[in-house]
Amino acid sequence: MKPLIIYNVFIRDFRKQKKRITLTLVALAWGTISIMLLLGFGEGLQQQLSINQKGLGEGIVILWGGQTSIPYKGLGKGRRIAFTPEDIDFLKERVPELKNVGGEFSHWGTNIKYKDKVLSEMVAGITPNFKQMRNHIPQMGGRMIDEWDMKLKRRVVFLGDKIKQKLFGDEDPIGKQIFVNSIPFTVIGVMIPKMQMSSYHNMDENITSIPLTTFQAIFGRLYLDDIIYQPYSLKHMKALKKRVIETFAAKYKFDPQDDRAISVWDYVESTRETNNVLMGIQLFLGIIGALTLLIAGVGVANIMYVSIKERTREIGIKMAMGARRAYILWEFLIEALIITFLGGGGGMAISYILTEGFKRIPIQSEVLNFMGRPTISLDIGITVIIILGFMGILAGLFPAMKAASVSPVESLRYE
């Protein structure tokens, strides 16, 4: 049917059922806003948590030495397994699939002093590749620990942003001297503030980091607290983990099946599990929203049934003029879709305005930093359009089929 005729019919119907159609449009808009805001909340949460998860690092696995629990090749159980700094290069050579391997010492309750400010905080001795693995990104004007710092065992320090605030306030610390256990160190950089969802000893913002070699020289420690590795590819993580353990098992002579000998935190796996939970939450929110929208669809079906009843005679006239049943069906189906997309379109526009407006409000809040703000992505828009289309078809199809099945003779008699 000519689009103009369909439009004219729709306008005529609207005038005759103004209140009913308006209420249905409002219900559709409301249902659309509900589903879009719910999905938008889920999307914002997922995006923010994804950023927050990177606070600890990306694609990393953390290893700690433990204690054997299985006798192995003549050696008894209960032997302590501890990593040395040489294990870093050892692992890198033996497992070429690893892009980065780094190590860490940590010492709690270290005195850190600047002018008259004295703190008792954690100091970590780290390798330069913590920049890539643990996202120790320096603020503008500073730098992270590098290979020369390691080679020359320089007394340089990279501050967590909260430590910097406590010691220096708003003063620029780069190039300034602080004392770590009464030993002078030069500040070379400050970490950019980051959201960190998890940690294994302390939040990075509270850590004072120095070169691993410098730490060993000052504190005289032999064994690392942990080794961290980052593979080139995140595929086959399980197989890679097995190889790493077997590599150390061969060196330190423990049973590779002994899961107490080395403790492993596969952060990739943890991230994946968190993402699955987030997807589940988003799916749940989407279902709730879709159910709300579906109720509005009932309103559309109601409108269509009333419209068809009032236009029974008109259907008969068209059939007498030679309209096939399919034409009648399509005419009413298209009307249902027009109503659905008018209401839905209004709802989408309002949702977009609300979320964009909310993003622009300058609220600083821990909750928002953790959970993010509602975000309407293209995927959400497409999903909602598909749901609206499906619902419009469903709401319009049964009334349209009823219209197409009327007897032309009976409908011509209808008053």
Partner 1 sequence: MIDLKHIVKAYRTGKVDFQALKGIDLQVKKGEYIAIVGPSGSGKSTLMNIIGCLDIPSGGEYLLDEQPVNTFSSNQLADIRNKKISFVFQAFNLLPYATAYENVEVPLLFAGMKGRKRKNRIMEVLAQVGLANKIGNKPTEMSGGEMQRVAIARALANEPEIILADEPTGNLDSKSGTEIVDIFDDLWKAGKTVIMITHDLFLAQKTERIVKLKDGLIENNGNLA
Binding site for partner 1 (CB under 8 A): 1-2, 5, 8-9, 12, 313-314, 316-327, 407-409, 412
Burial of 3 (0-12, 13-18, 19+ CB in 10 A): exposed
CA dist 48 → 51, 58, 224, 372, 375 (Å): 5, 15, 33, 5, 10
- CB atoms < 10 A from the CB of 267, how many? 20
- 3-class state of residue 282 by DSSP: helix
β-pairing, 207-211 vs 117-126, is parallel
Kindly state the tokens that stand for 159.
């501050």
What's the closest the beta carbon of residue 20 comes to partner 1, in angstroms? 18
What's the closest the beta carbon of residue 31 comes to partner 1, in angstroms? 30
What's the closest the beta carbon of residue 345 comes to partner 1, in angstroms? 25
Nearer to partner 1 by C-beta: 193 or 408?
408
Nearest CA to 112 out of 162, 152, 167 is that of 167
Nearer to partner 1 by C-beta: 317 or 401?
317
What's the closest the beta carbon of residue 32 comes to partner 1, in angstroms? 29
What's the closest the beta carbon of residue 320 comes to partner 1, in angstroms? 5
Nearer to partner 1 by C-beta: 18 or 359?
18
72 DSSP assignment: B
What's the closest the beta carbon of residue 321 comes to partner 1, in angstroms? 4
What's the closest the beta carbon of residue 405 comes to partner 1, in angstroms? 10
Nearer to partner 1 by C-beta: 8 or 181?
8
Phi, psi of 385 (to 5 degrees): -60, -40
* CB-based contacts of 306, cutoff 8 Å, min separation 6: 17, 20
- CB atoms < 10 A from the CB of 266, how many? 16
What's the closest the beta carbon of residue 331 comes to partner 1, in angstroms? 11
* CB-based contacts of 26, cutoff 8 Å, min separation 6: 343
CA 350 to chain centre: 25
Nearer to partner 1 by C-beta: 121 or 331?
331
CA distance 16 to 9: 11
CA distance 219 to 180: 11
Nearer to partner 1 by C-beta: 10 or 64?
10
Nearer to partner 1 by C-beta: 12 or 151?
12
Nearer to partner 1 by C-beta: 137 or 320?
320
Q: CA 58, 60, 64, 67 torsion: positive or negative?
A: positive
